[in-house]
A and B are shown apart, each in its own frame.
Chain A
Amino acid sequence: MATKPIHLTRAVALLLATAAAGPIAAERLLAQSPAPPPSPAPVAAQLPAGTVLRIDGSSSMLLTNKDQRDRFLKRFPSASVELGSSRTYEAIQALINGDLDIVAAGRPLTAAERSQGLVEVPIQREKIAIVIGSQNPFDGTLSFEQFAHMFRGEITNWDEVGGPAKPIRIVDRPDFSDTRLALSRYTVFADDSFRIGATADPVAEDDTEAVVEALGDDGIGYAVVSQVQGRRDVRILAMHKTLPNDPRYPYSQPRAYVYNAQTPTPAALAFIALLKQKPDPAASTASPTASPSTASPSTASSSTAAEISQATPTPAPASPDGNSAGLTPAADGAAKSPPARQFPWWLLGIPLLGGLLWWLLKEDPKTPIAAPVPPPAAADLPSRIILTPRHCRLAYAYWEVADQALSEARAWGGRDLVLRLFEVGDGQDMPEPTQNADPARPGEAERHLPDSLEQYAVSEEQCDLHLPIPLDDRDYQVELGYVTDDNRWLSLAKSAPVRVPPCPGPGEAAQNSSGAAIETVPVAQYDVSAVGFQPPPARSRPAYGVEEADGDREDLGNLSEVGDETADGPWPSLARSAPISMPAGAVSVAPQPAATAPSGTCAIETLAVHSRRNAVSLGGSQMQYLQDQVGANYSLDPGFYILRVKSGAFNYGDNTHPGEPWVLLWIYGGQVSNLKTGVWVNGTWSTLNGYADTLSLEVDEPAQLCAFFIDTFPENNANAVTLSVIRL
C-alpha cells in the first residue's frame, strides 16, 4: 500500500474551487407556460374602421411589441396601435378592467389571473444577458456563483474576479421587473438568496436604457439580449465562458401575449389570430391588404408566427423557404450588418427551450422526485413515443413531449391531441406528407393514411395509454399529434414499428398476468456476470453523451421543418421519436427452456457516461451543507469495514407504500478503497440497496462517511433506515 498524499487538503481545495466554478447547465430553468391558447380562429378579414389595438406590459417586450405592431398594421392598415411599456401587473389589471386589448407579459400568468378569464399565448423565451459598460476594463468571464455573490454584495471589487481593483456597482432593476423576476428563480439564487447588498445601485424604472446609462465603467447589470446585443455602449459578459448564443447559457425569461378571453375585443382576437398564424412567404405580395412598398424584408418575415417558434429577435439565417426568420424590428434600424463582436444569434433558434417552468410551478410539492410521472421531457431533447406490446391483444404507448412542442403545435392550430395506432408492413410506416391529396379522406390531404388506423383522444397531461390491438402477429406504430380545425395533422412524435406477437393457439400456454412474455424468464437462470458483457467488436449504437445524438440532430432537422410549407398547407413536424434500441444490437444468449424463454434473445444498449459532460455538479456550498448539516456522519478510522442496511426503508413520505431499503453514501476526506473497485480514492459514492447488499471498505487514512437520501420534498418524510457500520 503506497503512501498517500494529504487528501483532506485537496478535498477542501476542490470544494473551495467549486464555489467559483459551478455547473453550467444546472441552473437552467426550462419554461414555457403550457396554458392552452384559445381555439385558433381565422384572422379577421378586416376590422372596423378606427380600430385601436392597445398593447401594454413588460418593457422587456418592447422590441417584440414593435415588431408585432408592424405586422398587425400591415395586415390591418386602417387600424392603429397604441404601444405602452409600463408594468406587467398594472397592464394586467388594465386588461381585466377593459382598458387594454393585449398585455405583453414577461412572466407566466398566475392562477388568480387565469381565473379571471385571462389567457396567455406563450412565445419563445428570451435569454437574459449579464452586461457591463463598454468602458469597463473587466474582460474576463464570470461563474454563476460569482455573479450571485456580486449581486448580493458579497463580492465587492472587480479584482476578486480577475479584474482591476475597482469597486463593483450592481445596477439592479426595480422589483417589479419581469426580467428581475425571471433571474430570481434560478437555483443560484435559491433559498431566499436573491437579495441585493451594499453595492447595489438600482435604477428606478425597468428600462434597459437606464440600466446601460448607469453601468459606467464599474457597474454590472442585466437585460434581455435583444435590447443590448449589437450595441457599442454595452458588453455582454460570458458566464462560465458561455455566451447567450450557447444553448447551455441558462438565464432566460418567459414571454407571452395575454388577452381577456371572457370579453375579448375584435382587435385582441385579430392580434392573437395573427400571432398564431403561420407566416405566408407570399403574403407580402399576394395579400390584397398588404402593401409591398411598406414591407421591409426584415419586418415582414420577422413578424410572423415565427415569433412563437423563433428564439430571439435578432437576425436569423434564411429559412428553408428562403425567408429570413429574423425578428429585428426595422424601425430600430437593428437589421444592420452584425458588429464584430456579435454572436451567431440564429443558434438561439435551435434549442427550443421547453415547458418545465409550468411543471415546476404547478407540481404538487409532495410529488417526490422519485415519481416524476411523466418525467419532464427536457426541452432540448426530442419528443418521443415508445410502443411496447404487452401481449397479442394489448400494447402500451408511452410518450414524452416537451411543453414547448405542445405549445408550438397549438400555436399552429392544433386543437385535439390524438394518438394514432396503425399497422405497418414490410418495413413501411406512416407515409410522409405528400402533396397528393387523397380525396377520399378530406382533411388528411397532407398524406395518405394507412387503411388500418385507430385514433384515440388523449389529454395533454397524459403520458401513456394502453391500446387494444386489432390483429396480432403484425407490426404497429403509434404517432402522437394534433388535429387542427381544418383537419390537418400536426405530428409530435412517432414510434418505431414494433411487432405484436401472435396469440397462443389452443393448448398453448397462456400469457402471464402482465402479458409480457419476457417476464416469464426467471432472472436467476441467467449468469449475470456473463450476459452481454463480452467485449463487443465495436460500439453498436451511438453513445448517449453529448455527441450521442446524431439521432437528435435528425430530430432537430425535423424541428427545422417548422415553417416549411407544402402546397397543401403547413407541416410543422415538431419531433420524431428517437429510434429505440432493439434488435440491431441483439445477441443470442444461452438457450433457455422453451417454457420460460420464448424469445431467446436479448438486446444490449451501450451508454457512454462522460466524466465531465455527464457530471452533475454539486456546488461547494451544497457539498459542505450535505456533509455538515444533512448526512448521518461517521468517522472512519483506518481499518476494514463492512456496511449494510440493517433495517428500515425509505418511502418518500408515502406511508401507503412500504418503501425501499436503500441509502446513498458519500465517503470522503481520506484514502479508502471499495473492495468492489479495488481502487484507492479520496472520495467515492455508493448506494446500498436491500438488506443483503454490503459495502466492504478498507480505510487507509481517516475518512468520513456521510449517509443520506435525496428528495424534492423531504418535509413530511418520517421513516428511517438503520445503517450498520461494522469495523473489523
Chain B
Amino acid sequence: MGQHSLKFLGCLVGPRAIALQSLVHSLSINPLSFALLFLSGGSGMDGCTVTDLTVHSKRNCLQFGPEQMEALQRTGVSVLLGVGTNIVKIRSGSFGYGTDTRHNEPVVLLWIYGGRVINQKTNVAVSATWVSLNGYDDALVMEVVEPATLCAFFFDTYLDNSDEELILSVVRI
C-alpha cells in the first residue's frame, strides 16, 4: 500500500482536540468541513498531516468463503427490504466487547444483498453493500430498486455471555 503524506498548515493537539470534538459533536456539523474550514484559517497553528492509504481490492481484501457468508447471513438478523426508500437507524441499545457495559457502543454492521439498492451516500446502484451504523444519529438511507435482504450483525472475536440488545428501526417510506 502506498502512503503519501502531505503537510498542511494548522494543527490541533491535546486540549484543542477535546474542544474541537466537543464543538463538532455539539453542533452536529460535518467534521470534515469543519476541519477544512478550521485548517484554512490556520494562523498560529502547527502542522497537520494527511496520510493517504491505498486500500486495494485484492491485496487488502478479506476472503470470506461461502460457508462464512452463509453463516453470516444465518447468524445476523435479516429482513426483506421492499422496493422504495428505506431508512435504517439504531433506535436504542449498544454493543460491547467486554462485560463493562459503560464501554458499549451503539454500532452495528449491515450486509445488504440479494437485490438492487442505492445507498444515498454513494449513489451507486449495487447488488450488495456493507454499511455500519455508528451512533443514534447515523442513518442509512437507501433506495431499494429490487427487493433486497438486510442482514444486521456484529463481528466479534469471542462469543461471551453478554446479553445486550441493539434495536434497529427499518422505516420504509
Contacts and interface: CB of A to CB of B under 8 A. Distances in A.
B144 to A, nearest CB: 9
Interface stretch (A414-422, A453-461, A526-534): A526-534
Interface string B89-130: 101111111100001111111000111000111111011111
A696 B57 contact: no
Contact of B54 (A10, A186, A632, A653): A632
A677 B134 contact: yes
B53 A707 contact: yes
Nearest to B126: A660
Nearest to B67: A187
Contacts of B168: 606-609
Interface in A351-378: 356, 359-360, 363, 368-376, 378
Interface in B66-105: 66-80, 82-85, 87, 89, 91-98, 103-105
Contacts of A696: 21, 24, 31-32
A682 interface: yes
A71 to B, nearest CB: 34
Interface in A650-692: 650-653, 657-664, 666, 673-687, 689-690, 692
Nearest to B127: A371
A52 interface: no
Given A602-B172, A685-B109, A607 B154 contact: no
B50 interface: yes
Contacts of A677: 105-107, 134-135
A535 B114 CA distance: 30
A399 to B, nearest CB: 10
B91 A375 contact: no
A544 B79 contact: yes
A346 to B, nearest CB: 23
Interface residues of B, number: 119
Contact of B87 (A378, A514, A531, A545): A531
Contact of A728 (B20, B126, B158): B20
Interface in A522-560: 523, 526, 528-529, 531-533, 535, 543-545, 548
A287 interface: no
A48 B84 CA distance: 64
A616 B171 contact: no
B138 A676 contact: yes
A606 B157 contact: no
A288 B32 CA distance: 84
A631 interface: yes
B169 A606 contact: yes
A719 B61 CA distance: 11
B70 A18 contact: no
Contact of A532 (B54, B87, B160): B87
Interface residues of A, number: 152
B33 to A, nearest CB: 9
Interface string B151-172: 0111111111111111111111
Nearest to B102: A679
A719 to B, nearest CB: 5
Given A531-B171, A708-B61, A360 B77 contact: no
Q: Which of A10, A610, A681 has the most CB of B within 10 A?
A: A610
Contacts of B25: 675, 678
B26 to A, nearest CB: 10
Q: Which of B53, B75, B109, B131 has the most CB of A within 10 A?
A: B53
Given A27-B67, A604-B169, A689-B119, A662 B157 contact: no
Given A640-B17, A710-B64, A690 B165 contact: no
Contact of A378 (B54, B73, B127, B146): B73
Contact of B103 (A18, A602, A680): A680
Contacts of A653: 57-58
B173 A589 contact: yes
Interface string A684-728: 111101101111101000000101111111111111111111111
A518 interface: yes
A634 B51 contact: yes
A145 to B, nearest CB: 12
Given A611-B96, A679-B105, A724-B51, A616 B167 contact: no
A373 B124 contact: no
A642 B53 contact: no
Interface string B1-22: 1010000000111000110110
A683 B39 CA distance: 29
Contacts of B35: 642, 726, 728
Interface stretch (A88-96, A222-230, A617-625): A617-625
B43 interface: no
Q: Which of B50, B75, B131, B153 has the most CB of A within 10 A?
A: B75
Nearest to B89: A533
Contact of B78 (A374, A380, A544, A606): A544
Contact of B139 (A380, A528, A678, A679): A528
B37 interface: no
A364 B30 CA distance: 42
B62 A630 contact: yes
B84 A519 contact: yes
Contacts of B171: 531-533, 602-605
Interface in A498-512: none
A278 interface: no
A204 interface: no
A721 B134 CA distance: 21
Contacts of B130: 662, 664, 687, 710
A15 interface: yes
A404 to B, nearest CB: 14
Contacts of A66: none
Contacts of B31: 642, 675, 694, 696
A646 interface: yes
7 contacts: A26-B68, A371-B127, A523-B120, A607-B170, A662-B129, A666-B155, A709-B57
Given A27-B71, A375-B114, A608-B168, 16 more contacts: A187-B65, A363-B66, A371-B113, A516-B84, A528-B139, A532-B169, A605-B172, A612-B163, A614-B152, A623-B157, A632-B1, A644-B32, A649-B124, A684-B105, A692-B121, A712-B66
The 10 closest A-B pairs by CB, nearest first: A370-B128, A676-B135, A690-B121, A717-B57, A714-B61, A640-B17, A696-B31, A375-B114, A518-B84, A615-B156
